[in-house]
Structures are given as C-alpha cells and as structure tokens.
C-alpha cells in the first residue's frame, strides 16, 4: 500500500516546478521523478514475486519487506541528492540493505560466504569513494554541494590538476565496484551464486 501511495503521489507531482530543499542538499524535478517512479515500480514487483520463495524457505517475511522498503526509500532519496555527503550516506544505507538481503538465508553456507565477500568488497569500494569525494571537497575550496563544487573548481582553477584526476579515478573505481562494472565485477558471480533461489 505504501508503494502504491508513493507511485500515486509521484504521478500527481509530475508537472510541479523543481523544488530545492534541505539547504540545497535535495532537489526534485521531472527527471529524477522518473527514476524514483521506476525504483518504486521495481520494488512493487519484487515483493509479490518473492513471497513464494520466502514461504518455501520458511524465513520471516517481515524482515525481508523492511529491507526491500528501506532500500527503496534510499534509492528514491539518492535520485534527488545534491550534496557529496548526502550522496555517500544514501548510497551506504542502500548498500547496507543489499548486504543484509544477500545474507538473508542465514543457515545457508553459500549465503554467508556471499554476504561476507559483498561486505568486504563494499567496504573497500566505500572507502575509495569517500577518498575521491575528499579530493573534490579539498580542491573545490571546502564545498560539498555539487554545483558549488563545480564553481569551486572553476574559481580555484584546479580542474586540470592531478588531484582532480585522482579524485575522479577514485570515484569511478568506487562506483564501479558498487555497480559491478568491468573490470570491478569479480565479486558479483560469487554473491549471485550465494543468494540464488533454492528449491
């Protein structure tokens, strides 16, 4: 019901003007509403499709729904963030729910192995991403909002520096691990093997 209400509210807000809130850390517009609607629809499809599996494995349904809904909220929030710190916090909360869902079948050895690998690789990627953000923060003159970071780079003339290149590489590597992009995808088959459906 909550997801249906969220989808309905997003449809009603479709033609509203862009809104910037939380001191410029969050913004809503038609572009990020599309992605929030897509995330809500995916979650709405995910829960009914998982009910039979949860009942067959005799695992608690409530925890599963809480993890999925929390991941949905964080994903929808991540679509509109406009600040480096808020991006990092929202991404980590979303990742935490993914870790918990990958280790949901606690009695299965493969699931335990999958969540351990996922947690370790996720922690490494988070630290690399935070390191890249710290370079952006320092080189932009202490700014965290995305537009201010860009303006800071222009004002300080650091956009062609080696520090900006290092920060960009760290951000690409951190997000590459999170999204399992090539060549940072080696952990993905093991995690998928550990969380696959069992009969």
CA-nearest of 40, 43, 29, 148 to 80 is: 29
What residue numbers bound the domain in which 157 lies? 112-199
pLDDT of residue 199: 38
Q: Quick one: 17 and 74 in the same domain?
A: yes
Distance separating alpha carbons of residues 170 and 157, to the nearest angstrom: 20
Q: Does residue 94 sit within a domain?
A: no
Output the pTM of the full model.
Answer: 0.82
The per-residue pLDDT string of the chain (199 residues; one tens digit each, 9 = 90 and over) reads 888 888 888 888 777 787 787 777 788 888 888 888 899 999 889 888 888 878 887 788 888 888 889 989 888 888 888 888 889 998 998 888 888 888 777 777 777 888 888 888 888 889 999 999 999 898 888 888 888 888 888 887 777 788 889 999 999 999 888 888 888 787 788 787 777 644 3
* 123 assigned to some structural domain: yes
E strands present in 54-147:
none
Same domain (yes/no): 125, 77: no
Question: Is residue 97 one of the residues assigned to a domain?
Answer: no
List CB contacts of 122: < 8 A, sequence separation 6 or more: 95, 98, 99, 177, 178
Q: Which residue has the tokens 């609607």?
A: 37
82, 100, 127: which is the final residue of a domain? 82
Residue 91 is assigned to a structural domain of this protein: no
- pLDDT at residue number 134: 92
Judge whether 96 lies within some domain: no
Residue whose C-alpha is closest to residue 47's, from 113, 110, 101, 106: 101
Does 136 map to a domain?
yes
Same domain, 199 and 137: yes
125 with 199, same domain?
yes
Determine the pLDDT at residue 198. 45
Whether 15 and 66 share a structural domain? yes
- Domain count across the chain: 2
């Amino acid at each position: 019901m909550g997801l249906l209400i969220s989808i309905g509210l997003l449809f009603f807000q479709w033609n509203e003007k862009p809104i910037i809130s939380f001191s410029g850390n969050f913004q809503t517009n038609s572009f990020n509403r599309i992605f929030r609607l897509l995330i809500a629809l995916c979650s709405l499809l995910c829960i009914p499709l998982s009910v039979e599996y949860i009942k067959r494995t005799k695992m608690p349904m409530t925890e599963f729904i809480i993890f999925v809904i929390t991941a949905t909220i964080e994903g929808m929030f991540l679509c509109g963030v406009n600040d480096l710190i808020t991006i990092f916090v929202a991404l980590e909360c979303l990742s935490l729910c993914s870790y918990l869902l990958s280790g949901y079948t606690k009695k299965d050895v493969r699931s335990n192995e999958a969540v351990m690998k996922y947690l370790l690789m996720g922690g490494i990627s988070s630290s690399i991403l935070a390191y890249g953000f710290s370079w952006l923060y320092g080189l932009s003159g202490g700014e965290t909002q995305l537009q201010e970071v860009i303006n800071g780079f222009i004002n300080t003339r650091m956009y062609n520096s080696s520090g900006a290149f290092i920060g960009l590489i760290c951000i690409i590597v951190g997000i590459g691990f999170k999204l399992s992009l090539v060549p940072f995808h080696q952990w993905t088959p093991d995690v998928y093997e550990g969380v696959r459906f069992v009969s």
